Amino acid sequence: MRNRFSFIRNRGAFHRCAVLCALLLFLLSGCAEENPMKAEVLASAGENRAIAGEYDRDLSVKCRNGVFVGLDTDGVLSFKGIPYAKPPVGDLRWQPPVDAAEGEGVFEAYYFGKSPVQTEWPSEPGSYYPQSEDCLTLNVWVNRNNPAADKPVMVFIHGGSYGWGAASDPIYDGHNLVKKFDDLILVTVEYRLGLYGFIDFSGVPGGERYPESGNLGLLDQICALRWVRDNIAGFGGDPGNVTIFGESAGGGSVMLLPLIDGTEGLFRRIIAESGSLNLTSSRDECRNLTELLLKETGCSDMAALAALSEADLKKANEALNDYNNFPERDGLVLPEDLYGAFAEKAAGIDFITGNNADEVRYWVNEMGYTVPLLPPMTVYRHAIEILFENNLARLTPEDRDLVERFLAMQSDERIWNLSEFYNELLFRVPALKQAQLHAENGGKAYNYRFTVSGADETLGACHAMELAYVFDNLGATIYTGGRVNEELANTIQQLWVSFARTGIPRADGISWDLYEPDTRLTLILGDEVRMESDVNGEQRELIEPLLRYYFNGLYSQLSLNVPHVYLLAGCAAAVLAVLIIAAAVIVKRIRRRKAAPRS
């Protein structure tokens, strides 16, 4: 399902090879495979309308920007598609979000708002939902059977590499979690993505009017949190007890938000699943996408870009699918020294951070979407080998030695050893560094490691596998394949929700100790839940020196953000697929000729 970082998912060139393969398969087979997930998502779509007549006041909440009427499903009230900002269109395109205007109107809140504009992709079901630049909405779930006030509030930021994803994704639905924990209020948020939310116009004539364009998606999230602060009490929530949590790019977002001026008092706690401070871009890196956008659209200044129709800009976004920015270290919204700023500004914030044991194996599944005519492992194996050789050649001799020493410590076959290298570099060690620095500065940090696989053992405990567990949406099979540990799911939910309540994660029979600089304790969330000290400590020590590549303009040298890797692997896969199909057609024709009666 969902890819979280474009350092692995920049796949446009690869995707074009997939299109070639898929087209060939269609022509030869005469049929196309239906997409049940797309049908499910589209079936849930609709338009919220103004209500002029009577409405059920027991299902309504008065907010600053209107009265919103929700739906009651088995005792859980849902309010979907509530606008928290003015539509970022027209003169507000590429501008910071503006709080939704105050009003007295009454509106339905039955359907999710539009998804942010993005390319459709099977691992991101929210991308199938109707899209629009007018996307700044949020959703609220509250248990009707518990009328108490001052409930803890959890606000979720979805992942998707800062270029994909949406709160309408079925795996993020809050019904089950709020049904189980009746003292909880859950909020999910849409924010601008890709070139709509993370692009630098400082080098474009007229770009001085858009100084914050490199971090609009983060500013959208802050605007949503302001709305929560001002309105959540009407739903029974405590605006002074808000926990923000996110996964992948969402996990990175919640770690970055404390560094931005104006977020003080908007939240007390953070849960970052498979996300860290590291995945950000420099100004030069962000400007690369801007140059490509100008070439793609033929525009030469901001006036021309701002005048583009929604359809034309979306077309350009599709064409630039190979490229994606992360939040920009612009010195204006985000500081350039992220770790120093985190130590200073986030010292009083409690947080949970962690990752899954086999994060990178997620992209085995992605390869299955990308080149559907070949075994995903075949494509993944070639891609990661090409990638690794490209990365290794660019390192200093000293750093190459660190990598080779790391690989020598592994005992699995090479493909999984390389995967483990990227697991550590891209996910686990950055999270541990944040926990370490936070603990050294007197902050309270907890670290976890999720280790349970789904039905496909090849994927292991891959990226995003834990989401079904967190939201209690165990029927969402896109990662798990339907195989889940229900006892573990209940434990994770208790830990997350109790942390949101009090800042101390608790579950039945589970003691989760703080991450300390000397013990480096991690909670293993597996078939057996236990504490371990300094998990894979020798590997961590070898990887830590390589983290500097994230902040010197060379992060792509140690990432999967190398489009030609996918082009090579994808083209190779496409050629192989063509040869295989052609051979099959030839064999079939030969057999027909042999079977034909002689005249």
Asked about 247 being catalytic, the answer comes back as no
Asked about 248 being catalytic, the answer comes back as yes
Strands of 498-556 (E only): list them. 506-507, 510-511, 521-525, 529-533
How many CB atoms sit inside 10 A of residue 341's CB?
Answer: 17
Query: How far apart, in whole angstroms, are the C-alpha atoms of residue 445 and residue 436?
Result: 8
Which of 115, 168, 248, 281 is catalytic? The answer is 248
Asked about 463 being catalytic, the answer comes back as yes
How confident is the model at residue 24, as a pLDDT? 44
The end-to-end CA distance of the chain, in Å, is 56
How confident is the model at residue 386, as a pLDDT? 81
- 189: tokens are 């948020």
How confident is the model at residue 379, as a pLDDT? 77
Query: How far apart, in whole angstroms, are the C-alpha atoms of residue 520 and residue 447?
Result: 8
How many CB atoms sit inside 10 A of residue 212's CB?
Answer: 16
Is the CB of residue 380 less than 8 Å from the CB of residue 364?
yes
Which of 463, 466, 498, 559 is catalytic? The answer is 463
- 167-182 per-position pLDDT tens digit: 999 999 999 999 999 9
Query: How far apart, in whole angstroms, are the C-alpha atoms of residue 236 and residue 580?
Result: 61
Task: Evaluate the CA torsion angle 245, 251, 253, 258 in order and state its sign.
Answer: positive
The residues that bridge with 143 in the sheet, in sequence order, are: 76
How confident is the model at residue 578, as a pLDDT? 57
- 366: tokens are 């992605």
Which of 247, 359, 366, 466 is catalytic? The answer is 359
How confident is the model at residue 8, as a pLDDT? 40
Given a cut of 70, the residues of the chain with pLDDT beneath it are: 1-34, 368-374, 551-599
- 185-217 per-position pLDDT tens digit: 999 999 999 999 999 999 999 999 999 999 999
Query: How far apart, in whole angstroms, are the C-alpha atoms of residue 108 and residue 334?
Result: 36
How confident is the model at residue 145, as a pLDDT? 94
How confident is the model at residue 55, as a pLDDT? 97
How confident is the model at residue 127, as a pLDDT? 96
- Domains of the chain are 36-346 (3.40.50.1820)
